[in-house]
Amino acid sequence: MKVVVTGGGGFLGSHLCEALLRRGDTVWCLDNFSTGKPANVAHLIGDPRFRLGRADVTAAFDVSGPVDAVAHLASPASPPDYHRLPLETLSVGSRGTENALRLAQRHGARFVLASTSEAYGDPAVHPQPEDYWGNVNPVGPRSVYDEAKRYAEALSMAYRRSLDVDVGILRIFNTYGPRMRPHDGRVVSTFVRQALAGHPLTLYGDGSQTRSFCYVDDLVRGIVAMLDSTHSGPVNLGNPSERTVRQLAELVLCLTGSPSRIEHRPLPVDDPTRRCPVITRAREELRWAPVIPLEEGLRNTVAWFAGRCPPPLDGASYRAFQESVEA
C-alpha cells in the first residue's frame, strides 16, 4: 500500500510510519513540524519507500501517483500545545481534515481520522462506549481541540455518506512511549522527566482524576488494523486499565527509584474527572486489544528518557508498590 501520514513527524505519526514501512508499505509523511520534529523520522530517510515532505495540511495539497490510504494525524495534541496554538488547532481539525479527505476522495483511498477520547469531554457515562455522545464545554479552553475533533468526525461521516469515501474514525485514549517530547506538558512525559531530574512531580488537583494509558506500540497496531479495515467507526483505541493520576505518579517514582516529592498544583479548567475506554468494538471489528501493561510500557519509556537500557527492576520496591495499590 502507499499510505500518506499527515502529522507523521509527531509522536504517534513517527511510530506509525515505522510500522507501515516494516510491513512493506510505501509511506509519504507530511508535517509542518509545529509540534513534531524531523528528528523523529530522520532514521527513516534512507529508506527508498519513505518520503518526507514539509507541508501545512490546512492549505490544499496533493501527492503524485496512486494513494491507497490516508492516515490523518496532523493536529497539536497535548493541552499546552493546543492552548498555545488555538486557532491552528481549529484550522487543522477543520480545513486540514477537509484537505486530507479530498486527497482520499481523489485517489479512492481509505481515510482514517485520529480522533480522540476528548470527544467525550468530562464523561457522564463511565467507562465510555462509542455510542456515548459526550459532555464537552463548547466555549472552555479545551474546546479548540475537542470541538475541532468533533467537527472532524462529523465532516468525515459526511464525506462517507455523501461522497462514498471509505472513512474510518478512531477515538484514541491517552497514549505514551518513546519520542514524547519531554516538555510537551502531558502527564507521563512530565512525571518521567521530573522524576529523572529529581524535581518535584507536579500533581494537578488531588490526583484522584483517572486516565487509561496505552503504550504506543499497542496503539499503532490498532491504527494499522483500522487502515486495513473498511469499518467506519468510531472505534475506541485505548488500554482499559484505569489509574488515578496519583497512582501514576507513585508508579513513576517507584520505577525510577527517584527521591522526588509530589507537589500539588491547581487542577486545570474542565480537566476530565475520569476516562476509560470500552474496547469491545475494537476487539470484535479489528481483532485488536492492548497487550503491554502500564508497568512494562513505563519502564521502556523511562529507559528512553534516560537514554539508557532498562535497569533491572528493583523487586522489593516494586512489590511494595503493588501491595500499596492493592490495599
Of 34 and 78, the one with the shorter C-beta distance to ligand UDP is 78
Q: Is 120 a catalytic residue?
A: no
User: Is the sign of the CA dihedral 104, 105, 109, 114 positive or negative?
Assistant: positive
Site string for ligand UDP, 71-90 (x = CB under 6 A): -------xx-----------
Of the residues 82, 145, 176, 215, which is catalytic? Answer: 145
How far apart CA 299 and CA 184 sit, in angstroms, is 19
Partner from ligand UDP, ligand NAD, none contacting 9, C-beta within 5 to 8 A by type: ligand NAD
Contact indicator for 137, 131 with CB cutoff of 8 Å: no
Residue recorded with cell 485488536: 288
Partner from ligand NAD, ligand UDP, none contacting 232, C-beta within 5 to 8 A by type: none
Name which of residues 203 to 222 contact ligand UDP (CB under 6 A). 203-204, 209, 211
Peptide bond into 127 cis (omega under 30): yes
Site string for ligand UDP, 152-191 (x = CB under 6 A): ----------------------x-----------xx--x-
Length of the chain: 327
Give the footprint of ligand NAD on this chain (CB under 6 A). 6-7, 9-13, 30-36, 55-58, 73-77, 92, 96, 114, 116, 172, 174-175
- How many Cβ atoms from other residues are within 10 Å of residue 319's Cβ? 11
Of 32 and 247, the one with the shorter C-beta distance to ligand NAD is 32
Please give the C-alpha separations between residue 287 and each of 67, 235, 279, 306, in angstroms, as whole numbers: 25, 12, 10, 34
Describe the chain by its helix, strand, coil percentages, rounded to 5.
Answer: 45, 20, 40
- Helix or strand or coil: residue 99? helix
Contact indicator for 88, 96 with CB cutoff of 8 Å: no
How far apart CA 90 and CA 270 sit, in angstroms, is 18
**What is the closest distance, in whole angstroms, from the C-beta atom of residue 170 to ligand UDP in the complex?**
16
In the list 108, 129, 182, 268, the residue contacting ligand UDP (rule: CB under 6 A) is: 268
Of 53 and 80, the one with the shorter C-beta distance to ligand UDP is 80
Partner from ligand NAD, ligand UDP, none contacting 190, C-beta within 5 to 8 A by type: ligand UDP
Q: Which residues are catalytic?
A: 145
Residues forming contacts to ligand UDP in the complex (CB under 6 A) are: 78-79, 174, 186-187, 190, 202-204, 209, 211, 245, 268, 271
